[in-house]
Chains A and B, each alone.
Chain A
């Protein structure tokens, strides 16, 4: 019965969170294909551990943490494992969007990607996933104080390179 329960839970969680988690992973990896693989791994791992999950309500947090860890591992070993060049996120902006958002958006996101890994993760989880400090801390396995610190430093660095243009 446990396996059937895991099947149902994974199907339900997939319907609700697949797209959002792939987008989160794409922001961290810059590669939609890899992002989908990482998120799929997270779902498979969740399925395997479902019966041992103490609080099924925390399954989404488990998935999110698996995804962030998977992205980190992928970045670290991207070159060794697969020497294909990283792709830009999978969908090119429309011409209209390019006109509206233009160069500044690209520069801000690029500036974020040049931040140290931890700062980048904190800012993506905070401003894309809208997580609280406590949830970010749980996702990354760091203290809330560290979340504040990384967030403040990341924002300061972004403002320094881009903020004057805003």
Chain B
């Protein structure tokens, strides 16, 4: 830096260093070596070490077979259970690290509003991170298969409706003007299909599932994560299917804007801890562009208001801020029904202001 440094800048430098001077990081080398050890199990590495030398002709063959078995098992494990965020060495990651991309992929998973809240009957986005996927597209679908909504919404692709799916995603690739997603396993139907009841909403305690939302979960997740609007072609072992999780589909599947909640919050996440004012942002497409919000502390509404977003089919971002004293709050953002003022597309977030 060539600028003349002021006393203030010197002070900042000193205080930043003082802030972390006392930190003594734990040993990380063992963890790094564990995670990188998979490379040494590969046949090519055996050649580096002088394969076979005095240990018998079968050693390179055995080590090669063992390494291949580890890689195959590891890759299968990763497909079944992609890891959310790299958080340190683990047995699956250890074996598979040599074969897959450990880059953490940002994935937008779309989940279904359900239950007694006004969130029922539409899709809402959630952000997550998926590591150990072969590509961003694979990460998107693996993220959808793995994502477990913690805030009362439903992910049919993670077994929330009817039970666990025994699906594996084989590939996600651009082919001509579509994104083709190939699965192995019964992608056409939900497990326990006969037990799942659709379109039920007594207004009290029944969940309401519209199966047409399930294919849209996949389409939205792939499109949002890849940043494309191309339709999605779903195949099972290479053959297009005409039903997806019990919903009839026309292939390739286009995104349906009517499946998306009229209001959805992109920040903060549920469980967020914030400093200073609570800043809220999202996108909406509501009657007369009106977005209503309220903040509860316990059962008491301590703040409320409204803001403007998009309307009449045009999506537009909205944002607002709420000044709150430190404490735990429940934020609700929704559209007020034009007919009776009831809350629709309710986005609920538990937040802590520090």
Interface of B is mostly: mixed
The count of chain A contact residues (Cβ–Cβ below 8 Å) is: 65
**Which among B8, B22, B268 is the interface contact of A155 at CB below 8 angstroms?**
B8
Q: B102 touching A91 by the CB < 8 A rule?
A: no
What residue of chain A has the Cβ atom nearest to residue B128's Cβ? A80
**Which among A41, A83, A97, A128 is the interface contact of B271 at CB below 8 angstroms?**
A83
What residue of chain A has the Cβ atom nearest to residue B85's Cβ? A81
Complexed CA–CA distance, A80 and B23 (Å)? 27
Q: A27 touching B20 by the CB < 8 A rule?
A: yes
Interface of A is mostly: helix
| A117 interface residue per 8 A CB criterion | no
Q: 1/0 per position for B106-127, CB-CB distance to A under 8 A?
A: 1000000000000000000011
Q: A73 touching B106 by the CB < 8 A rule?
A: yes
Binds A, one of B25-33, B182-190, B329-337: B25-33
What residue of chain A has the Cβ atom nearest to residue B29's Cβ? A14
| A19 interface residue per 8 A CB criterion | yes
| B305 interface residue per 8 A CB criterion | no
Shortest CB–CB separation between residue B307 and chain A, in angstroms? 22
**Which among B12, B15, B36 is the interface contact of A44 at CB below 8 angstroms?**
B36
Measured between beta carbons, the chain A residues less than 8 angstroms from B106 are 73, 76-77
Shortest CB–CB separation between residue A149 and chain B, in angstroms? 13
| B175 interface residue per 8 A CB criterion | no
| A58 interface residue per 8 A CB criterion | no
Complexed CA–CA distance, A79 and B265 (Å)? 14
| B104 interface residue per 8 A CB criterion | yes
Complexed CA–CA distance, A108 and B7 (Å)? 14
**Which among A80, A82, A159 is the interface contact of B127 at CB below 8 angstroms?**
A80
Measured between beta carbons, the chain B residues less than 8 angstroms from A112 are 12, 16
Which interface class (under 10, 10 to 19, 20 to 34, 35 or more) fits B?
35 or more
Q: B9 touching A105 by the CB < 8 A rule?
A: no
**Which among B22, B28, B87, B104 is the interface contact of A14 at CB below 8 angstroms?**
B28
**Which among A3, A35, A39 is the interface contact of B48 at CB below 8 angstroms?**
A3
Complexed CA–CA distance, A39 and B88 (Å)? 10
Measured between beta carbons, the chain B residues less than 8 angstroms from A82 are 85, 87
Complexed CA–CA distance, A1 and B15 (Å)? 44
Shortest CB–CB separation between residue B323 and chain A, in angstroms? 15
Complexed CA–CA distance, A11 and B33 (Å)? 9
Complexed CA–CA distance, A90 and B271 (Å)? 22
| B40 interface residue per 8 A CB criterion | yes
Complexed CA–CA distance, A155 and B12 (Å)? 9
Q: A77 touching B129 by the CB < 8 A rule?
A: yes
Q: A32 touching B8 by the CB < 8 A rule?
A: no
Q: A126 touching B1 by the CB < 8 A rule?
A: yes
**Which among A48, A70, A108, A128 is the interface contact of B11 at CB below 8 angstroms?**
A108
Shortest CB–CB separation between residue A137 and chain B, in angstroms? 12
**Which among B15, B24, B45 is the interface contact of A3 at CB below 8 angstroms?**
B45
Complexed CA–CA distance, A18 and B8 (Å)? 29
Of B25, B33, B273, most buried by chain A (CB within 10 Å of CB) is B25
Complexed CA–CA distance, A80 and B31 (Å)? 25
| B272 interface residue per 8 A CB criterion | yes
What residue of chain B has the Cβ atom nearest to residue A92's Cβ? B22
Shortest CB–CB separation between residue B270 and chain A, in angstroms? 7
What residue of chain B has the Cβ atom nearest to residue A4's Cβ? B48
| B269 interface residue per 8 A CB criterion | yes
Q: Assuming the A-B contacts A3-B45, A27-B20, are A108 and B86 also in contact, with contact meaning beta carbons closer than 8 angstroms in the complex?
A: no
Measured between beta carbons, the chain A residues less than 8 angstroms from B275 are 113-114
Q: 1/0 per position for A28-41, CB-CB distance to B under 8 A?
A: 00001001110111
Shortest CB–CB separation between residue B338 and chain A, in angstroms? 33
Give me 12 other A-B pairs in contact (C-beta within 8 A), A43-B28, A83-B150, A91-B24 excluded.
A4-B48, A11-B29, A19-B23, A19-B24, A23-B25, A27-B19, A43-B32, A48-B97, A90-B24, A105-B18, A113-B275, A127-B16
Which 9 pairs, one residue from A and one from B, show the smallest C-beta to C-beta distance?
A91-B22, A22-B25, A79-B269, A23-B20, A127-B13, A128-B16, A81-B85, A47-B36, A83-B271
| B-to-A contact residues, CB < 8 Å | 1, 7-9, 11-13, 15-20, 22-26, 28-29, 31-33, 35-36, 39-40, 45, 48, 84-88, 97, 102-104, 106, 126-129, 150, 268-273, 275-276, 352
Instruction: Name 15 A/B residue pairs within 8 A (Cβ), A-sorted.
Output: A6-B39, A11-B29, A45-B102, A45-B103, A73-B104, A76-B106, A80-B126, A85-B273, A91-B23, A108-B11, A113-B275, A127-B9, A127-B16, A128-B20, A133-B1
